[in-house]
Structure 1
């Protein structure tokens, strides 16, 4: 068994191998700086590139799945896409009025596919999951938050804001805390699970000494890889499901 120092050094080595192109010669994450007027913006190129790669993969999957549609005998990618669509549509219809739910199905299906591809992308050596960065998960959660208000105001008008004062007016601070905690918990739940999975995979690679170089810590890595795939799918489902629930609550009449 390796000592703690040896494990940490091997994790650092494998981290450099897997994410070399995202770090400078000192091991610090590369940042792009952009100044607009008096405002300086910073971008993480690795996250941006991985996000664009994910979007390209999602578009390719959609094109392949819908290129030769067969309504009688769906197969291959079309079958997978239909299963995703039907499953999420059933969830929407179970939680919302069918007419109201029809307007969000396209959004939540896209959420699920994008997050699923993002989660699984980090399991490929040298690549990383966009959802392993809190900027991505917060962007997704804020999109859900914006949709809550958009559909809430669309279907209930100014009456949507009455729930902040229920059951009593002095509950306003508690209701506000609950409201603004939704995007925070959505973002950190997804980020924590995906980032933790990538760190754990690197730790496992560091635990197996010389066998890592021959077999890559084969057994433990494969087991954790399978578990990471499961977690990636579950987290995509949970984020999508909670988005549906939050929008459903915002549009419900009671």
Structure 2
């Protein structure tokens, strides 16, 4: 696997590939939503409008399986945004990748900022292989959700939102459930909440990251020779098709769990 381009600004490290891919993902989602709602028509809806109407109904169906639609109505926009953002993000790393090679620490820069981890990797490789030409690959294009910081960031936002809603909309029921079935279960219930945060984000990250690792290995196989190139083509096609399925399922699961967690804190259930 190649490394990501990192720069240091104000003592903080920034992953340029993640920033790039987040901008690309947000732009695609915004343009898609804008085009789908630009010329709304009841009598002659366009294909994008039909798609967006179907997606709204699909997200409403997900919501209705976890909570009352009247209570869930304010979260419809959240669900639509999440499922579009995660699906688009999951798909970006499938069709192609952008990788640059660095051989000299003096050229490992980005608009005057040194790519700190690239420089470290070059020095490490030079120390391990003195006298040999150094080549460090840097990935600029990949699925943003294949990075743990993005997936956990999304899960963290939902975690904060869920508990904020619990404290503000169902304070008594929300606080009470930490002591159920008995007060002694408080530590276990607290651990459960943080485990939800971890599994919510890591499930998305793990599936997308694993898919991109295998794609990278198949591409590497294709560069080993004629036999490897021939063998890698059908394998790559099959795996990319399967990755589209996995990416779609992971977007669905993330949003479904979001609605489930919200419903658990805004509804009062004695067994909760």
The two structures have a TM-score, normalised by structure 1, of 0.83
Return 153-162 or 214-223, whichever deviates more: 214-223
> Aligned residues, how many?
225
Equivalents in 1 of 2:72, 2:177: separation in Å? 21
Instruction: Say which of 171, 176, 186 aligns to 1:157.
Output: 171
- Provide the secondary structure at the position in 2 that maps to 1:217: helix
What residue in structure 1 maps to residue 13 of structure 2? 42
What residue in structure 1 maps to residue 6 of structure 2? 31
Equivalents in 2 of 1:130, 1:140: separation in Å? 11
Return 71-80 or 186-195, whichever deviates more: 71-80
**Higher share in helix:** 1
- Offset at 1:134? 0.5
- Offset at 1:252? 1.3
Equivalents in 2 of 1:159, 1:95: separation in Å? 18
What is the CA RMSD across the aligned residues, in angstroms?
1.8
Gap change, CA 1:253 and 1:60, over 3 Å in 2: same
Instruction: Say which of 26, 37, 41 aligns to 1:66.
Output: 37
Structure exhibiting the larger radius of gyration computed from Cα positions: 2
After superposition, where does 1:58-97 map in structure 2 within 5 Å? 58-97=29-68
Gap change, CA 1:212 and 1:44, over 3 Å in 2: farther
**Higher share in strand:** 2
* Structure 1, gaps ≥5 residues long: 1-14, 17-27
- Provide the secondary structure at the position in 1 that maps to 2:170: helix
Equivalents in 2 of 1:216, 1:205: separation in Å? 10
- Offset at 1:212? 8.1
The two structures have a TM-score, normalised by structure 2, of 0.78
What residue in structure 2 maps to residue 3 of structure 1? none
Gap change, CA 1:216 and 1:118, over 3 Å in 2: farther
- Offset at 1:175? 0.4
What residue in structure 2 maps to residue 11 of structure 1? none
Deviation sequence 1:150-169 (CA, Å, 0-9, x none)? 22123212441111110000
After superposition, where does 1:94-243 map in structure 2 within 5 Å? 94-126=65-97, 127-208=141-222, 209-211=224-226, 217-243=232-258
* Structure 2, gaps ≥5 residues long: 98-140
Conservation of the 8 A alpha-carbon contact between 1:205 and 1:216: no
- Offset at 1:214? 6.6
In the TM superposition, structure 1's runs of 4+ consecutive aligned residues that sit over 6 Å from their partners are 212-216
Conservation of the 8 A alpha-carbon contact between 1:205 and 1:212: no
